Amino acid sequence: MTVEVEPPVPPDGPQEAPAPVAAELARPALTEGSIPGPEDPITPVPAEGPPPAATRWDGAEVTTALPVDDTSAVSVAASAPGPVLLPPPPAPHPVPLPAPLPTAVDPVQPLRPRGVARRVATLLGIVLLSGTAGGLVGAKVAADSGTAVLPAPVAGQTSRPQGSVAQIAAATLPSVVTVRVKDAQGSGTGSGFVIDTNGHILTNNHVVSSAASGGTIVVQLSDGTQQDAEIVGRDTTYDLAVLRISAGGTLAPLQFGRSSDVVVGDGVIAVGAPLGLEATVTTGIVSALGRPVTAGDGTEQSYISAIQTDAAINPGNSGGPLVDMAGHVIGINSAIARLPGSTSSSGSIGLGFAIPSDKAHATAAQLISTGKATHPVIGVKIDTAYDGEGVRVSTKEDAVTSGGPADLAGVRAGDVILRFQGRVVSTPDELIVAVRARDVGDQVTLEIRRDGTTRTVTMTLVAAGG
């Protein structure tokens, strides 16, 4: 079976309210036009901001081929009569209540009845009598002492350890923004984050694509202020877009980490505006790597070799950063899974997907420089009707691009591709995602089968359209 995933695209009808701010970042000035890398330091400084608001929205659907196994009063019964010994009344002054201690409480010692009662009382009767006596004593103390005096609250924690979720959230939140889009069909909300000191903001393409041919994009900063934004460049293949606002010099960019260094089990933090709730922070781990995810359809289809996480990602988180426990961006939240057969979004089910930062960093730099990004290809057309082992090259005459990587490596129409870089590929989407996860100029190997014979060929990836 397959798990369907949908990109957390923006909601309709946002109810705007300024976003809360935990802190601001203070970082050293960067070279104009550069995107900070993992070596640039982060220094958090405090900042203030107003409360969050809620927003409702709907979004598009996406699919991925994922193998699966398919957010005092106490009533006491009367006891046998008997005398009750009460302690002498306390002095008429306030009686402070001692703070609870983290130790075990000794069992209550029952009162000893006198005379006939001692001879006829059962153990249960003695215990109940003790409880009654205690209640009478407590009532007498409360009546004599007036208002109880509780211990004064102790001072709270004023600092957070380096590397804690609270410290990382405080350093990250000032650089995360909410992206509000309006077009002829309605409005929606997504997330984004600052990537340099020139006002560039990285988000998902599906967050802003509806405004690309007419509409408005407004970026709400962490302090609640709003600025109009323009699209610098967008890429449907990797589902990324770069925006620009005028307040670049006043914003601190987040640092990119290396997604190639991430391993399953690493702790992560997702930040964004799920359901329009700005400055929301959730935590989890990396639950899988290299998960093939395809989003959208037609000309807007994206291919992602995704980081899978169980950190709660919901509609509206799209475009927000997924950071590691050093506060470095290792992914861009892009899609969530939903159960097969469901017709509407159920929110996070513990399967969220993020675009790896290595690919996002390179793509963002290309979009800023040229307004577009390049994508590696091997130069073959796939037979999507084939359902056997591996992925079959189409049998049509133009199935293999003349002079392309596959042609030069000896691949022919009708060949079956079994492995890419030593990894089994079972569907066309898996092959495309694996190729797109590489860079132009990378040398790769394919294991192919022709007429029952298997062999391995080597090729160098080239840019699509090149």
* Active-site residue, 318 included: yes
- Looking up tokens 């089968």, which residue turns up? 449
Q: Does residue 430 carry a pLDDT above 60? A: yes
Selected from 3.40.50.1000, 2.40.70.10, 2.30.42.10, 2.102.10.10, the CATH number assigned to the domain covering 376-463 reads 2.30.42.10
Residue 282's pLDDT band (cuts 50, 70, 90): very high
pLDDT for residue 106: 40
Q: Does residue 103 carry a pLDDT above 90? A: no
Q: Does residue 164 carry a pLDDT above 90? A: yes
Q: Which is catalytic among the residues 200, 206, 328, 361?
A: 206
Instruction: Say which CATH topology domain 3-68+164-370 has.
Output: Thrombin, subunit H (2.40.10)
Q: Where in the chain is the domain with CATH 2.30.42.10?
A: 376-463
Q: Where in the chain is the domain with CATH 2.40.10.120?
A: 3-68+164-370
Q: What angle do CA 424, 238, 168 make, to 5 degrees?
A: 100
Global model pTM greater than 0.75: no
Residue 341's pLDDT band (cuts 50, 70, 90): confident
Question: Which of 208, 275, 237, 211 has its CA nearest to residue 440?
Answer: 237
* Active-site residue, 239 included: yes
Q: Are the C-beta atoms of 130 and 89 separated by less than 8 Å?
A: no
Q: Which is catalytic among the residues 318, 334, 348, 357?
A: 318
Long-range pairs for 146-151: beta carbons < 8 A, 24 or more residues apart: 146/94, 147/94, 148/94, 148/95, 148/96, 148/97, 149/94, 149/95, 149/96, 149/97, 150/96, 150/97, 151/96, 151/97, 151/98, 151/99
Q: Does residue 311 carry a pLDDT above 50? A: yes
Dump pLDDT digits (tens) for 379-395. 999 999 999 999 999 99
Q: Does residue 46 carry a pLDDT above 60? A: no
Q: Which is catalytic among the residues 209, 210, 222, 239?
A: 239
pLDDT for residue 466: 67
Mean pLDDT lowest among 101-115, 267-281, 318-332, 439-453: 101-115
Q: Which residue has the higher pLDDT, 278 or 122?
A: 278
Residue 79's pLDDT band (cuts 50, 70, 90): very low
pLDDT for residue 36: 63
Q: Which residue has the higher pLDDT, 344 or 331?
A: 331
Dump pLDDT digits (tens) for 234-248. 999 999 999 999 976
pLDDT for residue 20: 39
